[in-house]
Structures are given as structure tokens and as C-alpha cells.
Structure 1
Amino acid sequence: MNEINASDTTWLLVSSAMVLLMTPALALFYGGMVRTKNTLSTFMHSFFAMGIVTLAWVTLGYSMAFAESKGGFIGGFDYAFLNGVGTEPRVGTTVPHLLFMAFQMMFAIITPALISGAYAERIKFSSYVVFTLLWSLLVYSPICHWVWNPGGWLLARGALDFAGGTVVHLASGASALVIAIVIGKRKGYPTRKIVPHNLTMTLLGAGLLWFGWFGFNGGSSLAANGLASVAFVNTHIAAAIAALAWALIEAVRFGKPSLLGVASGLVAGLVAITPAAGFVGPMASVAIGLAAGAVCYGAVMLKGKLGYDDSLDAFGIHGVGGLLGALLTGVFASKVWNSAGQDGLIKGNSALLTEQAIAAAVAAAYAGVVTFVLVKGISAVMGFRVDEEVEDEGLDGALHGEEAYSLGEGGAHAVESEPPAARPAAAPVLVRESA
């Protein structure tokens, strides 16, 4: 049995915190792209996931994903309610089992939050809660088991996913596309122009996502070693090159690059390198970054022609980027960089590309089908989408009783100048401006 290694444990503690930071970063990234009246509701989709998914993960989700496999498809209940998950080393690692669980929990948290980009500005909060809880248990945990559990059937076939291209991005992206199609477009889209209300916020979120992704990919080595360095460097290169590629395409098409394009491009590069980060070399990450910037740009532009409303491009960036990264892992993977991996197509092994395609197709199909069933079921029982009046008013005030930017005097907890005794008993303490 392996012993606890202090350096590996320290690195994974830091990486876990960095990955958790990515969820508030996602709130900033998404929140800046919606209209003012829906800022806080969009933030809520990420922040509340940190609560509801944590509850799901520590009770059942972790056990379903990482307990001893039942036929390669799901884990048992050996670790339910964290039974048997303590400070001893997780099998095959040099870090405490409890820490391994926590690191994986951060991935489980951000994955359903990514889906929220597809239904932003038009979903009931109660329906979001039910959907996120069920999706976490019924979609994320099984796919995680297939790909990352030592007994998982896709891993046994030879599929590679270093840090979540299939488990996180493709699964969430496929689900996002299904939701966008099923619940329909935002009111007025696309005839009414809907533009980001705060690009500064979006850019801050993109920068924090880039930072957190070093823990996302580098931490997936589960050790402070050379492999972590490979993943770290590849992560940066792919993000940087994809941002350049997206900006270059915009400059050629429109005569000027946009900051939103740069932010979208760097995230696309981060998504695409994720499955490959610990299996390829730096020059391969350049190629992956170039491909991600170009292909994800095309995917985002294509939604206008196909007519679906993926509000914040969760499918165009995460779904398409995850698929692209999974396939390019099958092309560029090399044992030179990771002896525990495989050689890919350019090394003469076409079988890996086939397995990558199978894993991607299965994960996307499973996520899409279960998501369709969940959305239809929730719609029938409690409704999924807000009514038109709420959509017109804005979700912040209607669903949460708050607004992101107060135009009146003082803030939500401002003290009124009039003494309480002089105020009529029925008078409200605060008057909110409409969004």
C-alpha cells in the first residue's frame, strides 16, 4: 500500500481550491454575458451548485462514481455518506482518500454549472435545483465511473481522458444542447439583439478560469511530479493559442478582434486540451489550441443558422471543444510524455482514435438522452421555464427578490433617514426599482 506523500498532498490541496474557484469564475464569465435583469439568477446557477452538488456527492455521488465497480457501469454504495473515506491513502495514490474525494467533488460541482449557459435567462429556480441534483447523480456519476474508475468499462476499453474532456465538458455540452432545443429560445431571440451587459465581468471570469484550470489539469496527475508539469504547460499553451486563433478569425472576418472573442477562444482552448493535457507534448498542444479556436468559433456561429438558442454557448464551446479534445487525444497521445497512456494516430496506433470516438459518442448520447427525460419529466410535474411576465421582468427580481445594480439611494441594507416611529406601520422598508 502506498504511503501519504506530503508534496503530493499539498499540491492536491491547492489544486482542489483552484478548481473550486473555477465555479465562482464561471459565474462571472456567464454573468457578464446576460442582461442586467438576469445577472444574479445566472450567478445563482453556479453558486447554488456548490451547495446542492456537494450534498449529492458526499452522500451518494462519490460512491456511485468511485466505489468498486458493478459490471463496469456504476459503483456500489461502499462509500455512501463517505463511509470508509478517511485519511488513509486512496488506492493507487499517495494522497489521503478524503482529499481525493474532495478534489473529485470540485469537478462534480462545476460540471452541471456549465450547463446553465444553455438555459440562462429563462429557467425556474426550483426546476434548476431538481434538475441539477438529479443530473449530478444520474449523468455525471455514471459517466465519471465509466471513464475514471479503475473498473469502468470505457477505461477498460482503453479510452483516455486526463482531466475531464469527456466526463465534464462533453457530457455537460451535450446536455446543454438538448435543453436549449427542448425549452426553446429566449423571448425575442434572435430578432431582438441580446448583448452582454458587462464584458469586464466576463473577462475577469475568463482570467480566473484560466488560473483555476492549472489545478483542474495539473492536479489531475494526483502528484507533484513531472506529469503535473506537462499538464500545466500544455494547459497554458492551448489556451493562449486558441485565444489567438479566435481573435485572428474575427480580425479577418470583421476587421477587428473582440475581447469577448479572446475570452471565448481561451476557454475553448482550455476545454480542448483537458482530455489530452497529460498525454501529449507542448507542440501538440499548439495544434490542439489552433483547432479549438477555429472549430469552436465555427460551432458558435453555426447556432444562428440552425436556429437554437444556446444562450452562452455551453454547447458550442464545452460540447464541441470536449469532443474535439477527445478525438485529438487519439491523434496526438504519446507514451513519451506519459508511459501510463497510449500512443495515438501519429504514432501509428489508430485504435486509440477509435476508442476515443466510441467513448465520446457514448457519453454524449447517454447525457443527452437522460437530460431529455429529466427536462420532460420536470416540465410535466412542476414546469421548467418561467412564464413570459417573469422573463420580461427579469429573473433576479422575480425569483430572488434582488437586483445586481441598485439605481436608488443606498443598498439593500441601507438605513432610512426617517425614524421608525414616524413611518406608517404598513409602509415598506425598501422600494426596489424595476430591472
Structure 2
Amino acid sequence: MEAADIAWILAAVALVALMFPGLAFLYGGMLGSGQVLNMFMMVMGSLAVTSVVYVIYGHGLVLGDSVGGLGLIGNPLEFAGFSNLLVNDGSGSLLTAGFYILFAAISLALVASGAAGRMKFGAWLLFGVLWVTLVYAPLAHWVFAFDDPETGTVGGWLVNTVGMHDFAGGTAVHMNAGASGLALALVLGARRSGATRPHNLPLTLIGAGMLMIGWLGFNGGTAGGANFLASYVVVTSILAAAGGMLGFIVVERVRHGRPTLLGLATGLIAGLVGITPAADAVSPVGAIAVGFLAAALAAWAISWKSHHGIDDSLDVFAVHGIAGIAGAFFVMLFGSAAAPAGVQGVLLGGDLSLLWREPLAVAVTLVWSFGLTWLIATAMMKVHDIRISREDEDMGVDRAIHAETAYELRQSTMFGQAARRADADTAADRKAAAPTPGPISSPSVGAADDAPTASTAS
């Protein structure tokens, strides 16, 4: 790997790492104020446990030589402990492994949408280990592991045998996380207090912006180096984000009469999800259309979820599952032969085999992800209740599980003392000025300083 390519991938790794605090801000701002720290912990905890799993045996499961040549799962011992990636042979294989750690970790972090505000933190970490091992790793092998005739390495069956097109993880990351988040939400059940209004929309928009920056590394780094493909997919990603913002707020304006900031942030993410499988296969105009369509469908899916009482708290199924499907189908129908991938959509005269290859990949992903996640969560629930108690949920998961609160509303000691002195002086003046003796109603001394120490739990 050339020095320029290594430099770009290093930059891409840094950008993708930025997605973790970005997702924490996005998700945390959308929740009630008593649940925000727990969501931060779940997102960052996903990075922690995934890194350990991936370095011990996960990279082998994903990119190792397929066991038995079947294309189902890689050899977990091939890259165990990254021990055989420590030679400076110019291939950049160690850097690639680090890049894929972040892919796996952000996939798990997205699933937290289905557990927001109601799952024990220790149970979440254990769930993460099981999910990355049993759900993510096999699917990522099917999608990311390519055959290598020179070394005789056999990769995954979806990308090599079926020949599906997925540039940067629309299946293994986004559809996978969407279906898994839905399954986890159904097993855990709805929050007892019901859905809460977003407590901090500026925080949500900051998170969406950080995710967009990270996404440029996510898609651009998948190009494998500092080349024209990286330039192309970065541009199509930006255009899809713009189309997504417009798509969602147009739907809001038509349906509800008002565009919202939350809708704009949601559309931004949906547009980026939609372009992930299609970034190298559509034209710049097509990228805008992908973003617009993906966001419009995500808006519909959010309404569908609400009507059916499904507490996928942060809409990972609608925004990542449905928008990811939209991106894959857009490649199938409207892919541009002029784009780097050279995949021409069937409506533009392309290969009719796309009509079964892409839908098969989508169907396999959804069934695998939903089914395995449902089984894992159900089994954990049977062994030991993984949901927090009613009392803890009423108190707020931040206080109950982490003994912390996101916001401290108590005034500082200096200002609190000044306020008490001012209140006391005012009360004394009023008493001295009273024309006749008798009970006097005075302001509560130090009321501001006795305010709750945290925002109201949702």
C-alpha cells in the first residue's frame, strides 16, 4: 500500500471513530434527560466490547479463509490476537483490521435503539459479545470477504457466489442493525413510562453533523486508498445527505404542515444510509435521488412503527433498515454504468439478474439479523431478566444504573449564598415597612438554591 493510501486510511479511521460520540449525541438528544448518560454508555461500551472480541477472534470470522470453503464463516484462528498482522509487509493489513473493528462496533451501537432506557448495562455488554460473534461476524463474512485466487482464500457466499452489490455495508451494517434493533425492542417490550419527547434537539443535530463527517471516512475509506473512487463516493455521500434532508422535511411539510429540526437530522442520516450500498454505483444526480427516496421511506416507516406501538426508541429499523433497503434497490433499478462500479440498473437496460441478486441479499440479511437477535435476547431473558426494574425505570436509568445525572441545575455556592442574602434583606425591608404588625408572607428563602439537583427523569 502506497504512503498516500496509508495516510488516507489513517484519516478515514479517525473520521469513523468520530461516529461514536456523534451517535451518542444523536441518540442521547432524542431521549429524555434521565436516559441520556445510559445511551452514551451503551454506545461507547459497544466500541469497548467489540474491540476485544474482534482482536481475539472476530477478524478471522469476518475476513479469514472460509471454513470448509463453504463461504459461511471465516476461520476464527487465522488472525487470532492480530499476531500475524504485525509484519510491515506493505499490505496495510493491520490498518485494515482496525478499520473493520469500527465497522463492527458502530453496527452494534446502532442496535442500542431497541434497548434505550430499559436494559441493564451489564446485560447490554454481554448481548454485544454474543451479537458481534453470532449475528454480525457471519453476515460480514458473507458481504466483505472476497475470494482471492492468488492465495486460494475463499470468501463469503453473498458477494462471491450470488454477486450482490454493496459498496460499504448497507447489508452487514445498516439493514443488520435495523432488523436487530427491531427484534431487541420486541423482546424487551415498550418503556413503561411511554415514549419521551427529545430533551435536547441541538445535541441531536450536533450528533448528526458528527456522523456525517464520520460517514465520509466510512464510505471514503472503503475505497481502499487515496484514489478517484474515494473522491467519487465522498461526493455522492454529501449529495445523498442533502437529498435526505430535503426528502424528510418535504414529507413532514406535506403530512403535518411543519418541517422540524428533528426531521432534518433524521433525513440527513437516512440519506447517508441509503447511499452506503450505492455510493459507487449511482451518478451525482442519482445520489440526491437516493437520499431523497431513502428519507421519504424512512419517514413513512417511522409512522408505521408508531401506529403499531413498537418502541424502537430511536428508529433504527426505519432509518437504517428501510433506508438501507432503499439504497440497495436503487442500485438494482437505477444504477449508472458511468459510475465507478459500472452497475447499470435494470430500468436503464442493465442485467436482469439484479432483480434476484439484490432482493435475495436483502431478504437473507433481514431474516438472519432479526431471527438470531430475537433468539439471543429471548434466551438471555429466560436465563436472567435483562430489563431494569419498574422502580429503576421510574427513577431514570441514569440515576438507577450509573448513579449520575446529565445536568446539574443547582446554583453554585457563591450565587446561592448571594441569593439567600438578597432574599433575607428583602424580607427584612418588607417587615420594617409594614404599617401594622401581623403575619407577613415572604418569599421562600434560598428557593433557587434548593432546586432539584438533576433534570426531571423521563
Q: Aligned partners of 1:196 and 1:14: how far apart in 2? A: 33
Aligned runs of 1:64-213 on 2, under 5 Å? 64-70=61-67, 71-76=70-75, 77-88=77-88, 95-150=91-146, 151-156=155-160, 157-189=162-194, 194-213=196-215
| Aligned equivalent of 1:45, options 37, 42, 58 | 42
Residue in 1 aligned with 2:401?
399
Residue in 1 aligned with 2:315?
313
Q: Does 1:286 align with 2:291?
A: no
1:380 shift after superposition: 1.4
Structure 1 contact 73–152 (Cα < 8 Å) conserved = yes
Q: Give unmatched runs, 5+ long, in structure 1.
A: 412-430
1:184 shift after superposition: 1.0
Residue in 1 aligned with 2:51?
54
| Aligned equivalent of 2:232, options 216, 230, 250 | 230
Q: Does 1:388 align with 2:387?
A: no
Structure 2 contact 193–394 (Cα < 8 Å) conserved = no
Structure 1 contact 221–278 (Cα < 8 Å) conserved = no
1:410 shift after superposition: 5.8
Q: Aligned partners of 1:409 and 1:261: how far apart in 2? A: 34
1:177 shift after superposition: 0.9
Q: Deviations over 1:114-158 (max 9, x none)?
A: 011121011111110110111011111111100110111001111
Q: Return the TM-score normalized by structure 1.
A: 0.90
Q: Deviations over 1:278-319 (max 9, x none)?
A: 222212112211211210100011112122111110111011
Q: Deviations over 1:378-428 (max 9, x none)?
A: 1112212111111100111111111111123569xxxxxxxxxxxxxxxxx
AA in 1 matched with 2:18: L
Q: Aligned partners of 2:249 and 2:189: how far apart in 1? A: 30
Q: Aligned partners of 1:119 and 1:385: how far apart in 2? A: 9
Q: Deviations over 1:233-278 (max 9, x none)?
A: 1101011011011111212222221000000001000001000112
Structure 2 residue matching 1:350: 3-state secondary structure: coil
Tell me the percent identity.
40
Structure 1 contact 218–228 (Cα < 8 Å) conserved = yes
Residue in 2 aligned with 1:21?
18
The runs of at least 4 aligned residues of structure 1 exceeding 4 Å deviation read: 431-435
Q: Give unmatched runs, 5+ long, in structure 2.
A: 147-154, 414-451
AA in 1 matched with 2:116: A
Q: Pairwise CA RMSD of aligned residues? A: 1.7
Q: Deviations over 1:144-192 (max 9, x none)?
A: 10011011100111111111110100001001111111211111326xx
Structure 2 residue matching 1:75: 3-state secondary structure: coil
Q: Aligned partners of 1:271 and 1:410: how far apart in 2? A: 44
Aligned runs of 1:227-266 on 2, under 5 Å? 227-266=229-268
Q: Deviations over 1:78-132 (max 9, x none)?
A: 111112113545xxxx751100001111111100100111210111111101101
Q: Return the TM-score normalized by structure 2.
A: 0.85
Structure 1 contact 228–278 (Cα < 8 Å) conserved = no
Asked which structure has the greater CA Rg, the reply is 2
Going from structure 1 to structure 2, the CA distance change for 1:8 and 1:87 (only over 3 Å counts) comes to farther
Going from structure 1 to structure 2, the CA distance change for 1:284 and 1:66 (only over 3 Å counts) comes to same
User: Number of residues paired by the alignment?
Assistant: 405
Q: Aligned partners of 1:353 and 1:331: how far apart in 2? A: 8
